Amino acid sequence: MGLSIGLVGLPNVGKSTTFNALTKAQNAEAANYPFCTIEPNKATVPVPDVRLDALAKIVNPERIQHSTLDFVDIAGLVKGASKGEGLGNKFLSNIRETEVILQIVRCFEDENIVHTEGRINPLDDVEIIENELIFADIEVLTNRIERLNKQAKNDKDAAIMAEFAQELAEFLAEGNLARNFPKAHSELFAQLNHDIRLLSAKEIIYGANVDEEGLTTDNEHVLALVAHAQKTGCEVVKLCAKIEEELIGLDDEERNEFLRDLGIEESGLEQIIRKGFDKLGYMSYFTAGVKEVRSWTIRKNSTAPKAAAAIHNDFEKGFIRAEVIAYNDFVECGGEAKSKEAGKMRLEGKEYIVQDGDIMHFRFNV
């Protein structure tokens, strides 16, 4: 399942360094000059989930398989990208193909690392990026409105959509993101967004890239970014891209000790991956056997047959029932057999809404 998050940001904010750390590989060149990333780099990374480790201790499987996310490192945007500045609209089209935007924002001072705007101001950086998304949306929306107005002469639905699109365009022209449009949850918005994939309608996570000291104390840049995010309904995750790179290659024990020495429990990138997974509207259920303990990715509020389809479409077509054990029950009882003995296993039918962390076994007939 392709679940993609696009990393965006101005040049030299630590975006490619973050990508290197995120993918556990030095496969995105990080250099101290603009446009070092020209083609989008893509990588698939596991979604951290301590529940898989807990299940593995009980089941002792041959392998463990996590849910995954695709991250796309998109070359640095600059002011005027929507008009072709820098590397122009190519970047914007790359963003359009992702579902969530992770905007890396520089929140540290370092005179040795140049900033394309000549100063460190996270809110200005955010405004530059988001204005380019908005400008690109207005251009696409204007073209759609022209087409709809031509169709509206003989098509009542086109007339309604044209009026709606014009209202949205005016909202964007005031500098607002489409995701904050008052009618963003309407069917008309969903239909329009499906057709033109509005950039500024996407969920946004701000990655506040700080220095080591900034991990435990919020500096003025982070505080300003958090205040902005609260106004726009976005989330902020602090990370130190430099530290995240240093964590690459460490085993779990060394890594945990490193984090404890820094005074933090979880790396910023782990938080970003988890939040990104959630922002995409997905969750996991598990299968647990001696061959493998595995996390399966499904949309929230999926029925049991839809969840079964994540394994194979035939499981959905021939679905009979699901054997379900809640994660906490499975762990507390010490496995499947003891969970059954304790009466914790349930038989669920086609209407069952799968819960995050369910351990499931499907019965089907094709």
Tell me the DSSP string of 20-62. Answer: HHHTTS--S---SSTT---SPEEEEEEPP-HHHHHHHHHH--S
**Residue 53 is part of a domain; what is its CATH number?**
3.40.50.300
In degrees rounded to 5, what are phi and psi of residue 242? -65, -45
- Which of the two residues, 45 and 290, has the higher pLDDT score? 290
Is there a domain that residue 10 lies in?
Answer: yes
Question: Given this model, what pLDDT does residue 307 score?
Answer: 97
Is there a domain that residue 176 lies in?
Answer: yes
Query: Average model confidence (pLDDT) for the chain?
Result: 86
Is there a domain that residue 56 lies in?
Answer: yes
313 and 202 within one domain: no
Tell me what the mean pLDDT of segment 93-102 comes to. 86
pLDDT tens digits for range 45-63: 888 899 999 999 999 999 9
Q: How many domains does the chain have?
A: 2
pLDDT band of residue 2 (cuts 50, 70, 90) is low
pLDDT band of residue 37 (cuts 50, 70, 90) is very low
Is there a domain that residue 288 lies in?
Answer: no
259 and 333 within one domain: no
pLDDT at residue 30 above 60? no
pLDDT at residue 87 above 60? no
CA-wise closest residue to 221 among 75, 229, 180, 112: 229
43 and 172 within one domain: yes
In the listed set 247, 279, 311, which residue is the last one of a domain according to the structure? 279
**Residue 336 is part of a domain; what is its CATH number?**
3.10.20.30
CA-wise closest residue to 326 among 350, 308, 343: 343
132 and 61 within one domain: yes
pLDDT above 70 coverage of the chain, percent: 87
pLDDT above 90 coverage of the chain, percent: 56
pLDDT tens digits for range 202-220: 999 999 999 988 898 899 9
Tell me what the mean pLDDT of segment 98-119 comes to. 77
pLDDT at residue 77 above 90? no
Is there a domain that residue 290 lies in?
Answer: no
184 and 144 within one domain: yes
Is there a domain that residue 60 lies in?
Answer: yes
Tell me what the mean pLDDT of segment 244-265 comes to. 84
238 and 144 within one domain: yes
In the listed set 279, 312, 341, which residue is the last one of a domain according to the structure? 279
Domain carrying residue 203: 4-279
pLDDT at residue 230 above 60? yes
196 and 316 within one domain: no
Tell me what the mean pLDDT of segment 188-194 comes to. 95
Cα 85 to Cα 13, 23, 88, 208, distances in angstroms? 18, 29, 5, 25
d(Cα 165, Cα 192) in Å, to the nearest integer? Answer: 8
Question: Given this model, what pLDDT does residue 29 score?
Answer: 39
Cα 303 to Cα 218, 277, 296, 298, 350, distances in angstroms? 42, 19, 14, 10, 7
106 and 63 within one domain: yes
Question: Which residues make Cβ contacts (< 8 Å) with residue 101, sequence separation at least 6?
Answer: 5, 6, 8, 95, 202, 203, 204, 205
246 and 317 within one domain: no
Question: Given this model, what pLDDT does residue 1 score?
Answer: 44
Question: Given this model, what pLDDT does residue 364 score?
Answer: 92
d(Cα 329, Cα 5) in Å, to the nearest integer? Answer: 33
Side-chain-facing half-sphere of 168: CA atoms under 13 Å: 33
325 and 234 within one domain: no
pLDDT at residue 174 above 70? yes
- Cα angle 227, 229, 231 (rounded to 5 degrees) comes to 75
- Which of the two residues, 149 and 14, has the higher pLDDT score? 149
Is there a domain that residue 287 lies in?
Answer: no
Cα 269 to Cα 20, 168, 198, 239, 356, distances in angstroms? 11, 34, 26, 7, 22
45 and 187 within one domain: yes
Is there a domain that residue 293 lies in?
Answer: no
In degrees rounded to 5, what are phi and psi of residue 36? -70, -20
308 and 166 within one domain: no
